[in-house]
């Protein structure tokens, strides 16, 4: 059985969301539930469709919320742009109602843009990371910051441009808009877990962090912020052979 590794690194505090959302994997939809499990005149038990484009298929749904309950859902949509896979997102209010139109996250439309991960700061600003697959040797993890209304605040930012392959990104965002992204990378040896900080301005931390044992194979991670200001990153790993 693979061992589950745990790694802690310094971080700033991440606020906890106020609402809960359930999202479909085939056609993005949202349902917000009251915290007390009861009902509210503002709530509606009907599941709401998040995506506008419904042809082909929409998968890999993810969601993040701010303390006021506002949220952003992101997903991968096939054949919505130039016949390829793209990443799209839409803002939601505290009761799961879509706010504004769905927006395209990626600027690059060549290849496949998939596997989104999303984090939302207390002011509603949002970081979205995803995988850009332009062919063998050119599979990268990218990130981009957006405003509360999902207006782009940065261009696409390559987190590990020297690596030929990346996958399974996950991220957190603190109250200041600073993000930490963790992902899988492979430069010819065992699949490794890597991470990097992003300032709210879009400036990258100088160092790409190697988080897993270089001699062991790592599988997709999960990341969370602790109340004392640290990050916890967990992942499965096992020896080869």
**pLDDT per residue as tens digits for the range 58-101:** 999 999 999 999 999 999 999 888 788 999 999 999 888 999 99
Dist. CA 13–CA 25, nearest whole Å: 30
What b/e string do you get for 201-217 counting C-beta neighbours within 10 Å, with b at 16 or more? ebebeeebeebbeeebb
- Which pLDDT belongs to residue 195? 96
Tens digit of pLDDT for each residue in 206-219?
999 999 999 899 99
Is the confidence at residue 42, as pLDDT, over 80? Answer: no
Is the confidence at residue 27, as pLDDT, over 80? Answer: no
Residue numbers of the domain that contains 58: 3-238
Neighbours of 40 (CB within 10 A): 11
Question: Which residues 6+ apart lie within 8 Å of 23 measured at CB?
Answer: 29, 30, 50, 61, 62, 63, 73
**CATH number of the domain where residue 169 is located:** 2.120.10.10
pTM: 0.83
Q: How many domains does the chain have?
A: 1
């Amino acid at each position: 059985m693979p061992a589950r590794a745990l790694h802690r690194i310094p971080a700033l505090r991440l606020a906890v969301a106020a609402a809960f959302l359930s999202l479909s994997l085939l056609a993005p939809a949202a349902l917000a539930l009251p915290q007390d499990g009861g009902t509210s005149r503002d709530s509606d038990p009907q599941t709401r469709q998040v995506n506008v484009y419904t042809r082909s298929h929409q998968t890999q749904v993810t969601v993040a919320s701010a303390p006021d309950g506002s949220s952003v859902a992101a997903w991968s949509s096939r054949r919505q742009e130039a016949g390829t896979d793209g990443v799209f997102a839409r803002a939601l209010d505290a009761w799961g109602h879509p706010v504004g139109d769905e927006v395209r996250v990626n600027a690059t439309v060549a290849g496949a843009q998939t596997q989104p991960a999303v984090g939302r700061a207390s002011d509603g600003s949002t970081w979205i990371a995803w995988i850009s697959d332009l062919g063998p040797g050119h599979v990268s993890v990218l990130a981009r910051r957006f405003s509360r209304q999902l207006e782009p605040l940065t261009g696409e930012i390559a987190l590990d441009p020297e690596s030929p392959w990346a996958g399974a990104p996950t991220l957190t965002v603190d109250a200041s808009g600073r993000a930490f992204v963790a992902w899988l990378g492979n430069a010819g040896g065992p699949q490794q877990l890597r991470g990097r900080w992003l300032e709210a301005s879009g400036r990258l931390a100088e160092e790409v962090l190697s988080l897993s044992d270089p001699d062991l194979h790592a599988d997709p991670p999960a990341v969370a912020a602790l109340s004392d200001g640290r990050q916890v990153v967990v992942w499965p790993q096992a020896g080869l052979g």
